[in-house]
Amino acid sequence: MKWNADDLIEINMENESRYKRGYVQTAVCEIRFPTILEFANPDPPIQIVKSLRRDYPILNAQNEIKLGVNSGKSSTKITHEFATTNRKWTLSVKQSSIVFQANAYHNYSDFKARFLKAFDSIKDSLDADFLTRIGLRYVNAIKTEPEGFKKDFLNEMLVSPLLSGKFNNVNEYAGKIQLVKNDGGLILQHGIRFADGTTEDHPIPDYMIDIDTYRVDLPIDHVEGALDIMHAQAFTVFDLCLGTKAKEKLSQ
């Protein structure tokens, strides 16, 4: 299946096989579907528990409470979270979405295989022929050097103000690019991020490259194809964000 959003950026995967490491801190795939009221019950759906028990044996239920600003009324939504024993892989089930998250990302092939295995085991429980949305998100954290951002490490299109030498003690720097078509889109958010609660006089920030790609209203049997093209777009954008020195480092 081809989407109009496939043409948002010209794909270039030349460097993917060259890179021996990466900067991915978190990888997330979210699927959305027509609301299933059973998924909002305090007890998790038994058919999903049975399907995921072997690979995701740890189960927690979390309550998300939202307070209406004008009405003063609150609403509670339940999330059933399934996790591996080391909690590096989680699957969160809500009444209209399922979120698959990797906190120990190795490569796309591994991520895709794990996601599809989980998805195949629970998709019959969705009782739907289509998904309202599927999204793939990569959050990359790049460590900076003590002396700051080096020239040619990140694409100067992103960080030219930081490299100019005109600004000292920068506390916040961020940018956003959003590409949209009728059946999907891509969002790039980037900028510096300091560690929470740091007490250092001159803390060294990470540079975050956050890429979110998505497709809407797709047949449920086209999930794998959507994942592949979204990953290709995300990698292309990630590669564009890097300078020559970062690319050399990832290739070593």
For the stretch 211-237, pLDDT in tens is 999 999 999 999 999 999 999 999 999
* Residue-number span of the structural domain to which 159 is assigned: 4-26+136-251
For residue 181, being part of any structural domain is answered with yes
Q: Is 228 within a domain?
A: yes
Q: Across all residues in the chain, what is the average pLDDT?
A: 91
- How sure is the predictor about 198, in pLDDT bands with cuts at 50, 70 and 90? low
Q: Is residue 85 part of a domain?
A: no
Predicted pLDDT at 6: 98
- Count the neighbouring beta carbons within 10 Å of the beta carbon of residue 249: 15
Domain-embedded: residue 44: no
Give the H/E segment covering residue 186. Answer: strand 184-193
Buried b (16+ CB within 10 A) or exposed e, 149-175: beeebbbeebbeebbeeeeeeeeebee
Q: Confidence class of residue 75 from pLDDT cuts 50, 70 and 90?
A: low
Q: How many domains does the chain have?
A: 1
Q: In the chain, what percentage of residues exceed pLDDT 90?
A: 73
Residue 150 lies in a domain: yes
Q: How many other CB atoms are there within 10 angstroms of residue 218's CB atom?
A: 20
Write the burial class of residue 45 (CB in 10 Å: 0-12 exposed, 13-18 middle, 19+ buried): middle
Identify the pLDDT of residue 111.
Answer: 98
Let me know if residue 191 belongs to a domain: yes
Kindly give the pairing relationship between strand 58-67 and strand 74-83: antiparallel
Q: Using pLDDT thresholds of 50, 70 and 90, give the confidence band for residue 62.
A: confident
Domain assignment present for 115: no
Question: In this predicted model, what pLDDT tens digit does every residue of 108-156 receive, in sequence order?
Answer: 999 999 999 999 999 999 989 999 999 999 999 998 776 566 778 899 9
